[in-house]
Structure 1
Amino acid sequence: MTALILAVTLIGTAWPLLLRVTANVQFDYDEGWNAYRDRSAAYLIALYSAPPKFEITNYPPLSFHLIGLLSWLTGSVTTTGRIISLVSLAVVCWVIRLVTRLFTTTGYAGACAALLFVLLLEVWMPNRIGVNDPQLLGMAFEVTAFYVLIKHPRSARSGCLSAALFVIALFTKQNLVALPIGAGLSLLIGRAWRPLFYWATAGLVSVAVLLLATHVIDGPYFLSDLMRGRAYRVADAVSQGGLYLLVFLPYVGIAAVWAFRNRASVERRPLILAWLAAHGLGLVLSGGDGTGGNMFFEAMVLNCVIVVIAYEDYFQRTPALPARRSVALLLLLVLLPACLLPRKISVGLSEWRNLPQMQDDFARGVKLLRSSSSPVVCENLLMCERAGKASAFDPYFVRDQIRLGRIKESDIVELVKDRRLGMVEIGDYDRPEPPTRTHARYTMLFLQTLLANYTISLRTPEFTIWVPKAAAG
């Protein structure tokens, strides 16, 4: 019954997110950023050929090459990335079902865990469903690697395959370390020396092979890009972590109690250790500039698996449980999503209704940017990419590096002061006009200088495009 309720809820709420796959508009800042790298990889242009200056490629290369290659079939790197993201989500759900099935007696339990993850993902970060972003692709490799290892923990072959898949996940998205930590610690604590040796050796060999391939294909600055420091704010970590715990408190609480009660179980040890690692890393890493709710995706996967296992354990211990209490416990799984989903549904429907106009406006912006003979800069990076223009700098990266003192703010401001930029595109944060509102990706001085030297050429509800005042009209 719970699986049926979850399935019906998902069918009724997720369709707006699926229909936007081919939409010619940017749904997330990372989509434009990724599109540039995907296209470079498609044409075998090195991703790490120079040290970072006004932009950086601080993601590993595998997703860019996969999407770039497949885009030759679809004709669009963004559409390809969105399709891969949806397929990856399906794979993650399938493996969640398989992992849950290892510790439960029915297939319905695994289906509940998988459907619950999608529902919670829709509640937590719907902007990561069906968008061109490598997070879910990397997680598809990661959860598969975890399943392979815990299903056959003593098999050398499974250990080698698991290690290789974990490394592929890391070379897709570098923050996916919670499940390999849980798997490795489980082997270490269990003194499974032979499987641990094969697992670690295969992992080191895989890392060496991919590092060498990246150096040869994509250039020598991979590690310097990947390890480049970013601003960190404890307040952001507290805010993101506090929100996560507030939203998912019932799941975290049930999983914590289950982990404590099963702490002596050898079979369940990998789940417990991975759950602890996922929550610890999520709470710490969510304070980094450019990170956010996706730092808790691994924790959400493990919450769904563990909570469903905990429910079955409880029902098996109390077979004579009154039907009323059973229904109440099952409804607890969907009570939180049911409370939060109405707003998410409203936002999704509004986006779907406005999508035709958004695409028309986006196309107008692309056409205007394409007409510029001078360098341009975009906050909506996909708009610049579709216009065939390289953004003069990455607004998000530059703002972060200015905060760290690695880039002089004057270097960016002078581009506007001297009117060397033919056009400047700003997203919806610029309403009302700058500098009356602090912008997340442009500094206040940049916006003040823009207002003094540029005028609006195109305004829509989502963005504005500014041109030098001498070129107005």
Structure 2
Amino acid sequence: MRVEVLRDYGEGHTLWMSQQITNLTIAYRPLDGLPYVIFPYPPLYLIASKIVSLGIGDLLLSGRIVSLVSTCGLAALIGLLVFQSIPRSFSRLWRLASGGLATSLVFSTASVIGWASLMRVDMLGIMLMYAGLAVYIRSGKKRSGQYFSAILFVMAVFTKQTLLSAPLACLIFGLFAYPRTTIRVYSFALLLGLAGLCICYWLTNGGFLKNILNYNLNPFSWEIVFAQFSSHLRLNISLKLLLSLTSLAALYNAKSIRRNGWKQFILLKSSKPYSRAILIGTINAALAGLLAISIGKMGSIYNFFLAWDVSLCLLATLYLFRLLATWHADHPRKKGYRLILLSSLILLFVPSRWVISTVTEDFSRQIKEEAQLVHLIRAAPGPILSDNMLLLTKAGRKIEAEPATLSFLTMANGWDERPYLRLFESSYFSLIVTTPLMHAARYSPAVVSSIEKNYQATGSIGSYLIYEPKAAKRHPDGSSNRPSLFPSVINAP
């Protein structure tokens, strides 16, 4: 938590956005001049982090605390939902054990472990979305609960605009179970969302919509989708998916559906919290899985699986409870139950090598490298460009551009980058501190070409290359009228 190094590329970007969120001359401004930095997310997490920092004094730590507290809240909510969904005819110990299992599954999920303490918007948004889902499932026909869940869903969307699986799942279920109330509740949610949108639009002179919609474009690849899903299912997700599918199959009753029809079947099931949790949870899981396909966007990583992973934790626990509830000491198939339960529990909690490496990651070398880089950046005159925005913030330097989202937007034909290219052609940046130029497509091909044409690498620190303008080196023998800044700074005591 207190390690002041970049643990994920997006942390530096999110930190800067949170710093600037109350500066309406910068926040959500169009890309018509410096700084060339996109605000791709709505403001709720950015504001929350800034408020927490007023008491702590460290914005990066505050953002990470918001994420960690949200993660703990999310796990507790899923556990509480399971506990309250199980019929009271079962003992309190059974219900507590099932809720504890759900909470443990959330905490042991690879994507949650990796994202829980990063300064990113996801965990707060997902916590709010699942809070809305839990309130909706527990409320049943109660209008007050449904309205409260709608408020939570709107807050989730104003944290991250793609968190739509749970509100859509409740909408689909509600149109079958209680259509009149659902139409009223979702009309209220729509009006509330539009009111928030209008306020943001007015405060930013229209820049809010430009940033979260027009500028939020990335090239898409189905090949990346298949590769990411294949890789993700090899983490401890496959068994959760299997158990989740089985939970729906166990609830399915073909005779009842043939006799009463789908609508009546859903109405019958909606009266019971346990069945309601499985039905709505299954719709949510299906929608979250579909929305996770957006991981095919260039630059996307495993946080796109978070909402889906949490939905599988909920459904898997509900099915494991069903197995436990039907397991009696004198059951003729008790040995089979024991084998299924024991193997399932072991496999669910076996961590992958990736999870172990995340938990045991050593930052000591990175701390030393970034300290050197901060020293270098502080000593450099003029504007600096880096794909590590945290370095610039720690060095007290102005952020001029955020390379990755500009690159993705350009490659998606969403922006004319010629004004940005002119900065390199005129040697506007006195120093460029960056990971290799072709790494993760953080620079468009035209930007890479312009940097290589107008700048030269004068050294490296760890995985970062240092570029300085070629204009400073005018003599054929390679000597310069302005010595490179790099050696003097690195050799300084």
How big is the shift at 1:336?
Answer: 5.5
Instruction: Give unmatched runs, 5+ long, in structure 1.
Output: 1-20
**Is the CA contact (8 Å cut-off) linking 2:111 and 2:305 kept in structure 1?**
no
Instruction: Give unmatched runs, 5+ long, in structure 2.
Output: 253-264, 271-275, 473-481, 486-493
**1:297-318 deviations in whole A, cap 9, x for unaligned?**
1111111111111111123234
Matches within 5 A, 1:253-332: 253-263=242-252, 264=265, 265-266=269-270, 267=276, 268-282=278-292, 284-319=293-328, 320=331, 321-322=333-334, 325-326=337-338, 328-332=340-344
**1:337-365 deviations in whole A, cap 9, x for unaligned?**
5251x45324543x33xx23422322222
Counterpart residue number, 2:255 = none
Matches within 5 A, 1:143-222: 143-190=130-177, 192-222=178-208
> Over the residues paired in the alignment, what is the CA RMSD in angstroms?
2.5
Identity of aligned residues (%): 20
Shift of the 339–157 alpha-carbon distance from structure 1 to 2, 3 Å rule, reads closer
The answer to whether residue 35 in structure 2 is matched with residue 27 in structure 1 is no
Aligned mate of 1:83, from 29, 53, 65: 65
**Is the CA contact (8 Å cut-off) linking 1:365 and 1:458 kept in structure 2?**
no
Matches within 5 A, 1:51-450: 51=31, 54-104=36-86, 105=90, 106-120=95-109, 123-124=110-111, 126-190=113-177, 192-228=178-214, 229-247=217-235, 248-263=237-252, 264=265, 265-266=269-270, 267=276, 268-282=278-292, 284-319=293-328, 320=331, 321-322=333-334, 325-326=337-338, 328-335=340-347, 337-338=349-350, 340=352, 342-346=353-357, 348-349=359-360, 351-352=361-362, 355-408=363-416, 411-427=419-435, 430=436, 439-444=440-445, 446-447=447-448, 449-450=450-451
How big is the shift at 1:48?
Answer: 2.0
**1:371-423 deviations in whole A, cap 9, x for unaligned?**
33322211111112222333432211121122123445665454334322111
| More divergent stretch after superposition (268-277 vs 210-219) | 210-219
**1:80-118 deviations in whole A, cap 9, x for unaligned?**
000010000000011001111133341111111111112
SS in 2 for 1:231: coil
Count of residues in correspondence between the two structures: 438
**1:166-192 deviations in whole A, cap 9, x for unaligned?**
0000000111100111111110021x1
**1:246-266 deviations in whole A, cap 9, x for unaligned?**
432221122112223324533
How big is the shift at 1:232?
Answer: 1.6
SS in 2 for 1:102: helix
| More divergent stretch after superposition (83-92 vs 320-329) | 320-329
SS in 1 for 2:296: coil
**Is the CA contact (8 Å cut-off) linking 1:230 and 1:404 kept in structure 2?**
yes
The code of the aligned residue for 1:395 comes to P
How big is the shift at 1:281?
Answer: 1.8
How big is the shift at 1:34?
Answer: 0.6
Shift of the 240–74 alpha-carbon distance from structure 1 to 2, 3 Å rule, reads same
SS in 1 for 2:463: coil
**Is the CA contact (8 Å cut-off) linking 2:111 and 2:306 kept in structure 1?**
no
**Is the CA contact (8 Å cut-off) linking 1:438 and 1:444 kept in structure 2?**
no
Q: What is the TM-score with the length of structure 1 in the denominator?
A: 0.85
| More divergent stretch after superposition (271-280 vs 168-177) | 271-280
Shift of the 166–438 alpha-carbon distance from structure 1 to 2, 3 Å rule, reads closer
Shift of the 326–385 alpha-carbon distance from structure 1 to 2, 3 Å rule, reads same
SS in 1 for 2:397: coil
How big is the shift at 1:448?
Answer: 5.0
| More divergent stretch after superposition (35-44 vs 250-259) | 35-44
The code of the aligned residue for 1:331 comes to S
Structure showing greater Rg: 2
How big is the shift at 1:69?
Answer: 2.2
The code of the aligned residue for 1:117 comes to V
**Is the CA contact (8 Å cut-off) linking 1:395 and 1:442 kept in structure 2?**
yes
SS in 2 for 1:166: helix
**1:414-436 deviations in whole A, cap 9, x for unaligned?**
43343221111112xx2xxx6xx
Shift of the 404–22 alpha-carbon distance from structure 1 to 2, 3 Å rule, reads same
Q: What is the TM-score with the length of structure 2 in the denominator?
A: 0.82
SS in 2 for 1:26: coil
